[in-house]
Amino acid sequence: MAHDDLRSFLAAIQSTGDLVDIDDEVDWDQELAGIGRLGCERGAPSFRFNNIKDYPGWRIMCNPIATWRRMAVAFGLPADSPVPKLYETYAVREQQLVPPVKVKTGACKEVVIPGDRVDLFDLPVPMVHEGDGGRYLGTWDLVVSKDAKSDWVNWGMYRFMVHNERLLTGFPRPTSHLGKMLLDGYVPEGRPMPIAIAIGCDPLSHLAAAATFRIAGNEADLAGGLRQAPVELVKCETSELYVPASAEMVIEAEVYPDRVNQEGPYGEYPGYRSGEMGNAICARVTAITHRRDPILTLDTTGFMDSSATSTSISGAIAIQRRLEANGVPVRAVYIPPEGGVHLAIVSVRKGGAETARKVVDVLTVRRALISKVIVVDDDVDVFNMAAVLHAFATKCHPARGMHLTTYVGRANTLTPAYTQEERVSRSGASVAFDATWPPDWAADATPVRATLDSMYSPEIQRRVLERWKALGL
Ligand SMILES: Cc1cc2nc3c(=O)[nH]c(=O)nc-3n(C[C@H](O)[C@H](O)[C@H](O)COP(=O)(O)O)c2cc1C
């Protein structure tokens, strides 16, 4: 069963051994996040920090679904469920949208702080990495915004940095739906855009916020589908927006239509700090509401963080659907978390140069977030990186196997390999490595893989496997 709020999820991961309480004092200045960072790098349990220096009574938990085990528990599945099962669960549930329901009040309203009494430094906002531009409050959040001209409500996950007592600066990319709503709807009218930053909702609502979802699609419906139960929403105090009622905290704010402020740099999801401080959207907090004893959430962003797992699933399935819609004979797609969401593995029923070229073209036509794709034949399990690496190393022709495309204006500026100039002009490149056999090679001219399942008769395979079993291996 999916979880109604962060707390029931925490109880579940505690019972599976995937949450550790830390009661000794930790410093909000890098020490707390450093522990979470090492946790990501070592695939450790999540941590709940119960004693934060300078902030008695406050609690923070980190990296809610940064491991496949915690992701499985979030879906209501056994913690040791295999990754393909998690992908399959997401793919099925995302097709069954469930609209949210509105309720009168909720736990997130237990304490209401009006805008004129807000001081963001009253909150235990962590300094996540050395070299960050400031302290980050929104790292694992759910940001609600509404289109100026329609009923479209967007949920996204965008980072927010404390600029001063009442101002936040944030980094929704211009290509993000929040960025699009702001630039297309509110900026031309010179109107402030209301947003609500919800922190500590049920894990699948956050997964939905971070998912690649269609323009004009409401991620609240997707969250309901993933949860297999509607999300309960409650109205904000200072705007017409609705937020998950069970959130630990909600920061209501207005984005200025005519003002930017400095934000970043930040240790980023590809696993590097690679940007500079730059201009970003600026939001004035209009109210904060929270539970009486809130537990804040933190993504200790970097190598193998929560975006590595969450975007692995939602991104790969979005890629699969896009390739299918464009006639690519795709069988499966995997985004390995170790690749910092810069690498996708695509298996196809019919390989060759034409297919590889089409894959890279389709994936870069609008937003180009993935810069490298390995295309493999469908006898290669995309989730088995040993098999993928073997195919890549042996089947990709060093001269003819690369299919490159370059673009300007839509590159992912967080790609660490890009120069500062490329980031500014948003120019970049994507490449598909064709690790498939050319379809015009005759069967007897195509190398046969020297593995049990390829080079031996079914009869020998059967006998070997029986013997294997008898040996208790
Ligand atoms: C932990 C985490 C942090 C993220 N931070 C940002 C961010 O600061 N800016 C951004 O544009 N996207 C960020 N993303 C990616 C977006 O959440 C993702 O692209 C999502 O699809 C955005 O919603 P949208 O497509 O409705 O704009 C983050 C994702 C995760 C998992």
Bond into 265 cis (ω within 30): yes
The residue whose C-alpha atom lies closest to atom 6 belonging to ligand 1 is: 158
Atom of ligand 1 at shortest range from CA of 212: 21
User: Which residues approach ligand 1 with their CB closer than 6 A?
Assistant: 140, 154, 156-159, 171-173, 176-178, 210-213, 299, 306-307, 310-311
Span from the CA of 79 to the centroid of ligand 1 (angstroms): 26
Any idea what DSSP says for residue 174?
T
AA letter at 355: T
pLDDT tens string, the chain, 473 residues long: the values are 789 999 999 999 999 999 999 999 999 999 999 999 999 999 999 999 999 999 999 999 999 999 999 999 999 999 999 999 999 999 999 999 999 999 999 999 999 999 999 999 999 999 999 999 999 998 999 999 999 999 999 999 999 999 999 999 999 988 899 999 999 999 999 999 999 999 999 999 999 999 988 888 999 999 999 999 999 999 999 999 999 999 999 999 999 999 999 999 999 999 999 878 889 999 999 999 999 999 999 999 999 999 999 999 999 999 999 999 999 999 999 999 999 999 999 999 999 999 999 999 999 988 777 899 999 999 999 999 999 999 999 999 999 999 999 999 989 989 999 999 999 999 999 999 999 999 999 999 999 999 999 999 999 999 999 999 999 99
Looking at residue 369, what is its pLDDT? 73
Residue 160, C-beta contacts closer than 8 angstroms, at least 6 positions apart:
136, 137, 138, 141, 143, 168, 169, 170, 171, 197, 283
AA letter at 183: L
Any idea what DSSP says for residue 192?
P
CB 90 within 8 A of CB 317: yes
The residue whose C-alpha atom lies closest to atom 23 belonging to ligand 1 is: 156
Report the alpha-carbon distance of residue 184 to residue 179 in Å, rounded.
8
Q: Which domains does the chain have, with CATH numbers?
A: 6-298 (2.30.110.10), 326-439 (3.40.1670.10)
Atom of ligand 1 at shortest range from CA of 314: 21
Report the alpha-carbon distance of residue 381 to residue 36 in Å, rounded.
31
Q: Choose among 115, 101, 104, 109: nearest CA to 238.
A: 115
The residue whose C-alpha atom lies closest to atom 1 belonging to ligand 1 is: 307
Span from the CA of 275 to the centroid of ligand 1 (angstroms): 16
The residue whose C-alpha atom lies closest to atom 31 belonging to ligand 1 is: 307
* DSSP three-state, residue 334: strand
pTM of the predicted structure, to 2 decimals: 0.97
AA letter at 360: V
Span from the CA of 469 to the centroid of ligand 1 (angstroms): 46
Looking at residue 368, what is its pLDDT? 75
The residue whose C-alpha atom lies closest to atom 21 belonging to ligand 1 is: 212
